[in-house]
């Protein structure tokens, strides 16, 4: 390790938060080989002991110093950072609760024969995680992987490497290793011959590169990529204060830099003005743009100067901008972009057709539900979506036709998540699932042991080359 990555506070330009060493190819090789060696004994460790390690680690996650560190390196409000840390501990305990049932051997002995299904670990898992929710998105991989008997090598984002690295050191000697760096470090990790599974959360460009490299290595991968999530308010949707508060935060939490943020708002033609008034009023209630360490702040800066420039260009590209919320900081001090609603656009506008990944969202009118369904399903991304209606059955009927991996009803984003509900994309928003029992099973291979009835004692036998009946 001969180089370092410095992390600057995006809310206070020039303030160095910390630095981490860059892992070169030999460093990655050493980490993977050590993880591979540790995995062999870890796989033999009883499941009860493996989940005990998760519980012990989770008990340390409610850490105020780490919440402040996470806020300083990521630009997320400190209250949000506390919530992420606590929820990560809740998730690890949920995995510990579910793993004994989900990962148990299943044996069947009946007239067809005797069948044993075993859940076996892969080996050393490579996890590449983003900056926008660095702790929970790492734990979604580390928790299930360790429970299933794998070890993990994590490469955090260089934009938020500090708090998560501290937490990853709390899982016991040698079970989780951390390597830092940019794309070259990630490629060395994903392309290592001893890596048996890859898990990645991030953008489509990096996902394509990681998926291609994993494919060349014949390494299975979980890819949770970007989304351009539509929020469709059906004709009977009620624009209540509570509903609008949820929708506003579903758009602008983490300054809109969330894969599952609401990124396109569709309202019935003739109700645009009503919706705009309700949405802007909600933003005045719940959006406070400010320093992440200020307890009043609900929306902080975007992550880099480049991100701020890109988002400002989107806002200036067309339509009528409606500034939202309250400003409680000097906008020149950091990478601040005021949350904005854009009206007067069509579906060909870049801010509609592409994922914005920032605090700007377009408002679009529709005439019929068939029309809006087609427009909402347009494009190659299919991560999340939401439908809003006073009639839950009507909402579910509409949701069944969405091309999305996860559809929220009468909310959008984290308030609509559930530990038991698998999350992931369709189309080019990736494959594989996190959360739910499926998220645990992503890190276990099903291996079969089978004795056909025909060849057991008293069986009738069959011809040597016969197909099973």
Tell me the catalytic residues. 141, 224, 259, 434
Q: How many CB atoms lie within 10 A of CB 27?
A: 18
Q: DSSP code of 445?
A: E
Full strand arrangement of the beta sheet holding 360-366:
320-323, 340-343, 360-366, 262-268, 229-233, 384-388, 406-409
> Residue 36 corresponds to which tokens in the numbers above?
């591979």
Q: How far apart are CA 146 and CA 171, in angstroms?
A: 9
Residue 324: which residues within 8 A CB-CB, separation 6 or more?
A: 248, 252, 279, 280, 283, 284, 287, 338, 339, 340, 341
Residue of 240, 263, 243 whose CA lies nearest to 253: 263
**CB-based contact 437:98 (threshold 8 Å):** yes
Q: How far apart are CA 402 and CA 413, in angstroms?
A: 16
* Alpha carbon of residue 234 to chain centroid: 27
Q: How far apart are CA 73 and CA 19, in angstroms?
A: 10
Q: DSSP code of 255?
A: G
Q: How far apart are CA 269 and CA 367, in angstroms?
A: 6
Residue carrying structure tokens 């300083």: 72
* Three-state secondary structure call for residue 423: strand
**CB-based contact 299:359 (threshold 8 Å):** yes
Instruction: Provide Rg for the chain, Cα atoms.
Output: 24
């Amino acid at each position: 390790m001969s180089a370092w990555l410095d992390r600057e506070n995006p809310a206070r330009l020039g303030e160095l938060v910390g630095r981490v060493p860059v892992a070169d190819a030999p460093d990655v090789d050493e980490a993977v080989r050590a993880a591979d060696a540790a995995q062999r004994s870890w796989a033999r460790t009883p499941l009860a002991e493996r989940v005990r390690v998760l519980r012990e680690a989770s008990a340390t996650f409610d850490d105020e110093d780490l919440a402040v560190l996470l806020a300083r390196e990521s630009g997320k409000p400190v209250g949000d950072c506390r919530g992420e840390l606590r929820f990560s501990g809740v998730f690890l305990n949920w995995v510990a609760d579910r793993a004994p049932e989900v990962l148990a051997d299943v044996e069947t002995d009946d007239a067809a024969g005797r069948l044993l299904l075993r859940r076996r670990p892969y080996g050393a898992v490579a996890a590449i995680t983003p900056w926008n929710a660095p702790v929970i998105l790492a734990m979604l991989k580390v928790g299930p992987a360790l429970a299933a008997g794998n070890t993990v090598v994590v490469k955090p984002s260089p934009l938020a490497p500090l708090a998560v690295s501290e937490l990853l050191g709390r899982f016991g000697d040698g079970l989780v290793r951390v390597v830092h760096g940019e794309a070259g470090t990630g490629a060395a990790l994903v392309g290592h011959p001893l890596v048996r599974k890859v898990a990645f959360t991030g953008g489509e460009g990096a996902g394509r590169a990681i998926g291609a490299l994993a494919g060349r290595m014949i390494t299975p991968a979980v890819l949770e990529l970007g989304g351009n999530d539509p929020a469709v308010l059906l004709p009977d949707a009620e624009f209540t204060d509570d509903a609008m508060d949820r929708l506003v935060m579903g758009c602008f939490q983490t300054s809109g830099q969330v894969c599952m943020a609401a990124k396109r708002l569709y309202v019935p033609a003739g109700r645009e003005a009503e919706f705009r008034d309700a949405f802007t009023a909600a933003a005045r209630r719940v959006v406070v743009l400010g320093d992440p360490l200020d307890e009043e702040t609900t929306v902080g800066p975007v992550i880099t100067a480049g991100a701020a420039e890109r988002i400002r260009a989107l806002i200036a590209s067309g339509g009528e901008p409606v500034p939202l919320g309250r400003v409680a900081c000097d906008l020149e001090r950091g990478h601040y972009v005021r949350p904005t609603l854009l009206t007067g656009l069509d579906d060909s506008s870049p801010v509609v057709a592409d994922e914005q990944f920032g605090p700007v969202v377009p408002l679009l009118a529709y005439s019929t539900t068939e029309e809006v369904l087609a427009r909402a399903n347009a494009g190659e991304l299919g991560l999340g979506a939401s439908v809003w209606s006073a009639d839950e059955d009507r909402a579910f009927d509409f949701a069944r036709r969405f091309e999305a991996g996860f559809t929220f009803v009468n909310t959008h984003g984290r308030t609509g998540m559930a530990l038991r509900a698998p999350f992931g994309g369709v189309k080019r928003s990736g494959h594989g699932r996190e959360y739910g029992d499926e998220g645990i099973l992503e890190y276990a291979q099903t291996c079969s042991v089978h004795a056909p009835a025909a060849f057991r004692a008293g069986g009738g036998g069959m011809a040597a080359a016969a197909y099973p009946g």
